Amino acid sequence: MRKLTLLRHAKSSWSDRANADIDRPLTSRGRRGALKIGTYIEQNKIFPDLILCSPSRRTRETLAQIDPFLPDGTEVKVEPSIYSAGNGSGLISYLKSSAIEEVHVMIIGHNPTMQQMALDLAERTPDNGYHLIEKKYPTGALTQIRFDIDDWRDLGGRGQLVHFVTPKMLPGSTDEDEE
């Protein structure tokens, strides 16, 4: 059994146009949204063995917001290829070809990559939330997919969509909690 959790970075700021895209920080709304997702992670025991994080400031700040909700010692690797991963097929290949032994991997990245990976890897059933992922994958969205495989090299089919949640879906949220 393998689990993949995909987390799109929380809401980031475009206020300083002089900043390069990779250097955009989270907004206060983004920090609040990431904390809500962190609470959800803790309440649902979504504890990855390994986190692969884009090097962008907004993904690293999202990670910092959820970190207090994760077990101490969770392994984190900043993976540059996540920043420019395109439609996600490259990250799927990365999972399949890397020597990743961890059972539960979380990727903290960007759209369209996170949405496309979720659509490519999750089974579509009438009531599992797949249709919500098709419509929109807002900032702060989290998806978890479970695969009936023993090795990431065997990743090839679709897995069971276990979780799909956005900050707006969680208690205390307002309409402005995501884009």
When pLDDT is cut at 50, 70 and 90, the band that residue 169 belongs to is very high
Question: Cβ distance 162 to 145 under 8 Å?
Answer: yes
pLDDT for position 176: 56
CA angle (122, 80, 44) in 5-degree steps:
40
CA pair distance 46, 67, nearest whole angstrom: 12
Strand segments, DSSP code E, in 89-155 are: 104-109, 142-147
pTM here? 0.94
Question: Cβ distance 30 to 14 under 8 Å?
Answer: no
Whether pLDDT at 173 is above 60: no
pLDDT tens string 97-152: 888 999 999 999 999 999 999 999 999 988 888 999 999 999 999 999 999 999 99
* 2-14+23-177 topology per CATH: Rossmann fold (3.40.50)
Q: What is the largest CA-CA distance in the chain?
A: 46
Whether pLDDT at 51 is above 90: yes
Percent of the chain predicted with pLDDT > 90: 77
CA angle (9, 74, 89) in 5-degree steps:
50
CA pair distance 29, 178, nearest whole angstrom: 8
